[in-house]
Amino acid sequence: TSVINKIAAGEVIERPASVVKELLENSVDALSTRIEVDIEQGGAELIRIVDDGEGIHPDDVPLAIASHATSKITGADDLFHVQTMGFRGEALASISEVSRFRLRTRQADQLAGVEMQVDGGNVSPLQPCGCPPGTQIEIRELFFNTPVRRKFLKTPATEFAHISEQFTRVALANPRLHMVLRHNNKSVYELPATDRLIDRLELFFGSQLAESLIPIERSSGELRVWGYVAQPRQSKATRKGQYLFLNGRWIQDRSLQHALTEAYRGLLMVGRQPIAYLFFEVPASQVDVNVHPTKSEVRFRDSQQMYRLLLSTLRNTFLGMDL
């Protein structure tokens, strides 16, 4: 199933930034307090992520990189199923299929760490290693064994820009995490832990924007929205200044974007888009995240309810303001 594994891997791993996204999410899930990311050549040569999270038990390391869906694929019908239904628990399996992969991990109560290497899907035996508690993952030569995909990587600067965007989304969603990003050994972001989202917004987007942001906060039943929106005079030609998060993860959502546009109707020049950093909290039972393997598209059970909450909150906020 080697070819099928590589096709399947390509469904999840499109470019270096997709790797960084998956690894960052894993480090966050492992309750890390500190995450360092090192990138070389836009991620084509090296992606390294070091966290101080709970680590993986030695017995579980082989499972962590084992493919669950692809190992069961026997024909085209199954492959179709994987492509349409998406992957769960497939990120490390997919990444290690198309790179030179090394994982080192240690749980705090273990005397030593373990190391696992996978070369284009070929797994080497587990080795003991010395390492601090947490997990370190190194990915070299991404797509070395899928030459077409490697050839279609953009310039290091462009690939790094995509990585930086993924890093930014996780950093905004988790201000309490100390996070570091380096490219070609140069520091790009060094973000100390903070309790205040606004501190992080200031570091990413400058104090001028941060000082003029309007805080919002409202709950309705089990739904909650909070965050900041910018003054109408602070707007952009695209939606790139809009960051939406659902239950702590960045999401893309047309309906909520539309609610934002509606709220600013008449306040912005034609073609301009408002800047917003908004956090939505919803009981997990109200959300289906299994729409796409990369999990950034979600479906709300009741998207109208969230739409109305956001729109009315913003309208009420703007009502008493001199904008």
Binding site for ligand ADP (CB under 6 A): 22, 26-27, 30, 51, 53-56, 64, 88-93, 135
Answer for which of 69, 91, 114, 306 binds Mg ion (CB under 5 A) is: 91
**Strands 299-300, 287-288: parallel, antiparallel or unpaired by DSSP?**
antiparallel
Residue 137: exposure state from Cβ atoms within 10 A (0-12, 13-18, ≥19): buried
Question: Alpha-carbon distance 89 to 156, whole Å?
Answer: 28
* Tokens encoding 64: 């962590």
Provide, rounded to whole angstroms, the least separation between the CB of residue 138 and ligand ADP.
Answer: 12
Answer for which of 5, 18, 26, 94 binds Mg ion (CB under 5 A) is: 26
Amino acid residing at 171: A
The residue (of 51 and 115) whose beta carbon lies closer to ligand ADP is 51
CB 218 within 8 A of CB 309: yes
Provide, rounded to whole angstroms, the least separation between the CB of residue 140 and ligand ADP.
Answer: 18
Provide, rounded to whole angstroms, the least separation between the CB of residue 51 and Mg ion.
Answer: 13
R_g of the chain, CA atoms, integer Å: 21
Q: Which does 64 bind (CB under 5 to 8 A by kind): ligand ADP, Mg ion, none?
A: ligand ADP
The residue (of 169 and 230) whose beta carbon lies closer to ligand ADP is 169
Provide, rounded to whole angstroms, the least separation between the CB of residue 174 and Mg ion.
Answer: 15
Which among 27, 34, 146, 153 has a CA at the least distance from the CA of 92? 27
Question: Alpha-carbon distance 227 to 313, whole Å?
Answer: 11
End-to-end Cα spacing for the chain: 60
Q: Which does 30 bind (CB under 5 to 8 A by kind): Mg ion, ligand ADP, none?
A: ligand ADP
Provide, rounded to whole angstroms, the least separation between the CB of residue 12 and ligand ADP.
Answer: 9
- Please give the residue ranges that form the binding site for Mg ion (CB under 5 A): 26, 91
